[in-house]
Amino acid sequence: MAEAIASFLSYLEIEKGFSFNTIAAYKNDLNQLVEFLGPQASPDNNHWQKVDRSLLTRYILSLRERDYAPSTVARKVAAVKSFFDFLVEEGMVGDDPTEELASPKIGRSLPKPISVGEVERLLAKVAERDAPENRRDRAMLELLYAAGLRVSELVALNTNDVSLRAGRADVRCLGKGSRERIVPIHEQALAALRQYLELGRPKLVHNSDEKALFVNRRGERLTRQGFWLLLKGYAQSAGISSRITPHTLRHSFATHMLRGGAPLRHVQELLGHANISTTQVYTQLASDHIREEYDKAHPRAK
């Protein structure tokens, strides 16, 4: 059970960009669930398949009986819901027992993108060297920002998932719920991918049968953790003080697209969101930017 929780917390940090305090709170919340399960809990991850809605309902009732504030109960339930959603996505459980689980509503925090200038500084830092690893890293970052991919989608790509036709370049990825989508990519991302495939990947791959698009120095598929460590190093070298995770580039892609005038429905399709309400969180960020520009430009706003 601890192994599954550790994997989930790593996912929150790397893919979702949660803060240290939030991750610590989720860890405490899930350990509290394990404590509630008591003798029913077993050390292996298969135990999570035995947790059903009835058991989780009793857990929520036990929280309310301990006089936790509604916001605290809501966070603890949110942690459990997110955890089981992760277990389903990773194939550790077949059905999600939290799917119809009622919980108090809490506010949703806005994502924090980096600026266009910071993205350009980051990409320029990666392009400073022409070593095979640098060509790979530039291709990954260009693709992540060009297509708004999740990091799990990025590292899961195989060589046959990218089409490098001039003017029609795109990437095919498998998102949440096994939903496939095809996302177009711009010329700069296309050029970076071509350079990596021609001059970088052949020097990293040791097995001609390797299908992974992005590989590490051992010639094996790069992991989410491996990519995140690379990104942190480049961000630090580029002098970016904002906290940056792989998910930050996805947030930045969505926000910059909306600020550039892209329709919300279009951005929803590019991100692979099942519901447009998930995408609408970015409209607030775009509106904030418009307000800032208005205050700068309007003569009566000064």
DSSP letter for each residue of the chain: -HHHHHHHHHHHHHTS---HHHHHHHHHHHHHHHHHHGGG--SSGGGGGG--HHHHHHHHHHHHHTT--HHHHHHHHHHHHHHHHHHHHTTS-SS-TTTT--------PPP-PPPHHHHHHHHHHHTT--SHHHHHHHHHHHHHHHHT--HHHHHT-BGGGEE--TT--EEEEE-GGG-EEEEE--HHHHHHHHHIIIIIHHHH---TT--BSSB-TTSSBPPHHHHHHHHHHHHHHTT--S---HHHHHHHHHHHHHHTT--HHHHHHHHT-SSHHHHTHHHHHHHHHHHHHHHHH-GGG-
The verdict on whether 26 is a catalytic residue reads: no
The verdict on whether 125 is a catalytic residue reads: no
User: Which of 75, 125, 224, 247 is labelled catalytic?
Assistant: 247
The verdict on whether 243 is a catalytic residue reads: no
User: Which of 53, 112, 172, 176 is labelled catalytic?
Assistant: 176
The verdict on whether 27 is a catalytic residue reads: no
The verdict on whether 176 is a catalytic residue reads: yes
User: Which of 136, 138, 224, 250 is labelled catalytic?
Assistant: 250
The verdict on whether 256 is a catalytic residue reads: no
Catalytic residues: 150, 176, 247, 250, 273, 282
